[in-house]
Amino acid sequence: MKKATDNKIRKKGLGVKAGRGIGNTAVYIGLVIITLIWLFPFFGIVLESFRVETPMQVSYLWPHKFGFDNYIRLFKETDFLRWFVNTGIMGVCTAVLQTVFVLAMSYGLSRLRFKGRKFLMNAMLVLGMFPGFLTMILIYKVFSDFHLIEQMAPLGLIIVYCASSGMGYYVSKGFFDTIPKSLDEAARVDGATRLQVFYKVILPLSKPIVIYTILMGFMAPWGDFMLASYLIHENSQGMSVAVGMFEWLSKTMVNTNYTMFCAAGVVVAIPVTTVFLLLQKYYVEGVTGGAVKG
Amino acid sequence: MKKLNDLDYLKLNKFQAFLYNLKLFFCSIPMWLKKAGLKIVEFFKNCGLGIKNEFVDIGTTFTKGNWAVKLSFFIFGFGNFFYGQILRGILFLVFEIIFFAYMFVPSGGIYWLSKANFFQTGNTVGNVQGGYVYNELYDTDVWVNGDDSVKVLLYALLTVIFIVAFIYTWRLQVKQCRICMDITAKGKKVKSGKQDLKSLVDDEFHKSLLALPVFGIAAFTVLPIIYMILIAFTSYDAAHNGYANLFTWVGLDNFNELLNFGYGGLGLAFGEILAWTLMWAFFATFTNYFLGMFVAIMINKKGIKIKKFWRTVLVMTIAIPQFVSLLYVAKLFDATGIIGKLLLNWNLLPDSMIAANQLSLWLNPVSAKILVIIINIWVGIPYIMLMATGILMNIPQDLYESSRIDGANNFQQYTKITLPYMMFVMGPYLLTSFVNNLNNFNVIYLLTQNNQLINTEIGTAGGVSVCHTDLLITWLYKMTLNSAETKYNLASVIGILVFVVVAVLSLIVYNVIPSTRNEEDYK
């Protein structure tokens, strides 16, 4: 009887090992396929950006003739550089201001206890249930009186991105919640004010979340189409890259601008992707931390 | 319904147990409703009680207070001055002066309030219609400005908010005066202005921290949302833009139009778009969720090398701005695009589509919807993968070892350990992601806007052409784009309805799904 079970276990153990070997091969094959699917469009866009024989969309991948014509056209004939600079400025300003707003809000809600704290959190939860775009109608009307639209849209957009950013406090609050309270108390006993506790004790410990917030702020203008297109309203001088390049693929323009779009896409993707991949570690920390704490 | 005890429950077979649980769920709905009703009643009772207490308190403050406190009922901050809190006194007094100045100057608060005609159905917002008047000097008709309804409504709303703030401040300073009186009666000293300022970085640090973000939210979210809720009850659209034509209060007309399923109403279009929005959110969330978890498990499997590389490959779709990748991928599936052409050449499209001359996947409503969901997997999986990786590392390894000894195979381990654990931890995230997908403008608009042809349109609804893949949010967006067909009023109603959908869903989910608040429950 004992021998039988021993055999069984041994057999099973062997099976598991062999199974793992086969399983790993299968997983590798799966991962390679996924990699191909994931990277194919990026290869495609890079290749097509160098295609010079026709600016139209074609049904083959490998260009017949390579050249930099699309890139040259991009900077010579269009306002692309202007859009790029606009978006870059928006990215930097949003990163700075949004970080201030988000950190102040999340620190206050996480570490300080005061009357109305629960009310504030519930109010923001309910406000978050409205589609954010709804606010743009009034904002557009008011901004047009202050000339913050069209040509000056980048400035208006910075205000829009930052003003309500306090509502996105969840991830960083989750982070502050994990820092032990005893640190605060020790500092308080030593006579530090709450402000000193904030910037002398907690902030130095919060590097990952600060970088995460900065990264999110920087990425926001590059990815936003909806709010930007609403304020910019087809004024080429005030456009961000997303709004400007979107037009190039419209039915009337796609036949002359398709390869240029690819080139512009590459130019946009390189800096943003580099920044993102360099700071990937912090991004992952923020995302996973936020998920676990809800 | 009769509740079974544990022993009887265990006797049921699986199917019976399922039926029993289902029945339990439905039988508990009336209980929830009752509980919710009781809670609402209790809430109003508390509110009533609170208000009553406030009035009683104000009354006693007035009768028991000395002459300084009594005077501060009319002159803001008088009590503060009296007890030596100069700084607070000045602030209160300045507030009062500004308030009265604003209210009573010509074209101040009272003026705007009287123009707005709040909620008087049939009345215009603002009462002077601009128009062309003959001008002798130029010998032609010249435009003479009237009221601008948009501004009238905005200023009237601001005035209402100002009045509420005034009442609150009045109450606040009366209370403070009384506290000052009590403190001095006990022989202690009240806080000086210097101490007040000092406490802003210490005990009252939250005030200085939150002032800016909260003000931003109030000005750029709360105010616009209240304003748009008001707009939902007016006729604000391209024809009545407030400047050339005043708009009117119309009561519930907009809601009626949107929910009218008969001829001329938008009910059918709204129903169809809402159904697709919910379906999209459901599929987008769950395909991403399960596949993302699957990929995470694959990458984190023991013995798989260069884990970092696989992860980075996936993260590329987060790193590259969505409008670049989505617009490009959408074009790939066009009839002239690389993949679209392949599908055509290899005859992979269904015959019915070819027969209808729908030569790419974008041109058929059903295939377009499926394609949108599939492409969304491409953008969405990496987020879930990252999260799931973090969680997978937290699952105690001994769970796996002990299950292995008990004879569980890989699949059983996945369904009995990994999946429940992840479900539990990521439950709240699923809700957030569902809500985000309901409002997922980028994926839908960027993928479909340039590719739709006439035959995938539902038709014209609310003055704009709506495609089969449009969500409520893209419909709302199209309605508000500056054009001759703008319908701000309907857009506001849609916004409110989106809010209702999200709120109801959230309430249900929070009540049904075990919350993570007591994580100990699971372990």
Q: Burial code of B67-88, b = ≥16 C-beta within 10 A, e = fewer?
A: ebbbebbeebbbbbbbbebebb
**Residues of chain B contacting A132 with CB distance shorter than 8 Å:** 221, 439
Q: How confident is the model at residue A289 (pLDDT cuts 50, 70, 90)?
A: low
Q: What is the DSSP letter of A51?
A: B
Say if residue B271 is in the same domain as residue B370.
yes
Interval B322-366: pLDDT, tens: 888 888 888 888 878 888 888 888 877 777 777 777 777 787 788
Cβ <8 Å between B391 and A291: yes
Indicate whether B455 pLDDT > 60.
Answer: no
B134 inside domain: no
Say if residue B494 is in the same domain as residue B354.
yes
Domain of residue B399, CATH code: 1.10.3720.10
SS3 content of chain B, % helix, strand, coil (to 5): 70, 5, 25
Residue B163: what pLDDT?
93
**Mean pLDDT score across all residues of chain B:** 82
CB B177 within 8 A of CB B69: yes
B235 inside domain: no
A57-79 mean pLDDT = 86
Residue B10: what pLDDT?
75
Interval B19-38: pLDDT, tens: 877 787 777 778 878 888 89
Q: How confident is the model at residue A214 (pLDDT cuts 50, 70, 90)?
A: very high
Say if residue B193 is in the same domain as residue B109.
yes
Residue B133: phi and psi, rounded to 5, are -125, 140
Say if residue B326 is in the same domain as residue B358.
yes
Say if residue B184 is in the same domain as residue B290.
no
Say if residue B420 is in the same domain as residue B470.
yes
**Beta carbon pairs, A and B, within 8 Å:** 272
- End-to-end alpha carbon distance in chain A: 52
CA distance A69 to A20: 51
Domain termination residue (choose one: B224, B257, B285): B224
Say if residue B73 is in the same domain as residue B45.
no
Higher pLDDT, A165 or B428: A165
Indicate whether B518 pLDDT > 50.
Answer: no
Q: Are strands B140-144 and B464-467 parallel, antiparallel or unpaired?
A: unpaired
- Disruptive mutation site among A32, A101, A117, A138 for chain B (greatest number of B CBs within 10 Å): A138
B166 inside domain: yes
Q: How confident is the model at residue B49 (pLDDT cuts 50, 70, 90)?
A: very high
A38-64 mean pLDDT = 86
Q: Chain A closest CA to B297's CA: distance in Å? A: 10
Say if residue B413 is in the same domain as residue B448.
yes
Q: Which region among B113-122, B171-180, B304-313, B422-431 has the lowest average model confidence (pLDDT)?
A: B422-431
Say if residue B343 is in the same domain as residue B433.
yes
Residue B82: what pLDDT?
84
Say if residue B499 is in the same domain as residue B403.
yes
Residues ≥6 apart with Cβ < 8 Å to B394: A292, B425
Q: How confident is the model at residue B512 (pLDDT cuts 50, 70, 90)?
A: low
Q: How confident is the model at residue B511 (pLDDT cuts 50, 70, 90)?
A: low
Residue B374: what pLDDT?
92
Query: How many structural domains are present in chain B?
Result: 3
Residue B94: what pLDDT?
92
CA distance B25 to B123: 49
Cβ <8 Å between A135 and B225: yes
**Residues of chain B contacting A293 with CB distance shorter than 8 Å:** 516
**Residues of chain B contacting A194 with CB distance shorter than 8 Å:** 201-203, 205
Residue B383: what pLDDT?
86
Residue B278 burial by CB count (10 A; 0-12/13-18/19+): exposed, middle or buried?
middle
Indicate whether B232 pLDDT > 70.
Answer: yes
B80-105 mean pLDDT = 88
Cβ <8 Å between B321 and A269: yes
Residue B227: what pLDDT?
93
- Write the class of the CATH domain A79-293: mainly alpha
Q: Chain A closest CA to B448's CA: distance in Å? A: 11
Say if residue B163 is in the same domain as residue B291.
no
CA distance B360 to A289: 42
Closest CA to B277 of B512, B462, B507, B505: B505
Domain extent listing, chain A: 79-293
Q: How confident is the model at residue A98 (pLDDT cuts 50, 70, 90)?
A: very high
**Residues of chain B contacting A250 with CB distance shorter than 8 Å:** 450
Q: How confident is the model at residue B193 (pLDDT cuts 50, 70, 90)?
A: confident
Domain termination residue (choose one: B170, B203, B224): B224
**What is the interface pTM, i.e. ipTM, of the complex?**
0.86
Please give the residue of chain B at the shortest CA–CA distance from A195: B201
Indicate whether B7 pLDDT > 80.
Answer: no
Interval A15-31: pLDDT, tens: 455 555 677 888 889 89
Q: Is B105 on the interface with A (CB under 8 A)?
A: no
Indicate whether B114 pLDDT > 70.
Answer: yes
Say if residue B26 is in the same domain as residue B70.
no
Identify the sign of the CA torsion B514, B519, B521, B523.
Answer: positive
B239 inside domain: no
CB A226 within 8 A of CB B441: yes
Region of residue A218 (phi > 0: left; psi between -120 and 50: alpha; otherwise: beta): alpha
- Disruptive mutation site among A49, A137, A188, A227 for chain B (greatest number of B CBs within 10 Å): A137
B487-493 mean pLDDT = 89
Cβ <8 Å between B476 and A287: no
Domain termination residue (choose one: B224, B245, B280): B224
Cβ <8 Å between B383 and A287: yes
CB B330 within 8 A of CB B354: no
CA distance B388 to B394: 10
Q: How confident is the model at residue B216 (pLDDT cuts 50, 70, 90)?
A: very high
A192-219 mean pLDDT = 88
Nearest to A134 among B228, B391, B481 (CB): B228
Q: Is B503 on the interface with A (CB under 8 A)?
A: yes
Residue B452: what pLDDT?
57
* Alpha-carbon radius of gyration of chain B: 31
Please give the residue of chain B at the shortest CA–CA distance from A221: B321
Q: Chain B closest CA to A108's CA: distance in Å? A: 6
Q: Chain A closest CA to B294's CA: distance in Å? A: 11
Domain that includes residue B202, residue range: 65-126+148-224
pTM: 0.85
Q: B residues 409-438 near A, CB within 8 Å? A: 410, 425-426, 428-429, 435
B250 inside domain: no
Question: What element of type H or E holds B476?
Answer: helix B472-480
A270-281 mean pLDDT = 87
CA distance A94 to A163: 10
Interval A113-128: pLDDT, tens: 888 888 998 899 889 8
B428-454 mean pLDDT = 79
Per DSSP, the three-state class of B429 is helix
Residue B227: phi and psi, rounded to 5, are -60, -45
B363-383 mean pLDDT = 87
The share of chain B scoring above pLDDT 90, in percent, equals 15
The share of chain B scoring above pLDDT 70, in percent, equals 93
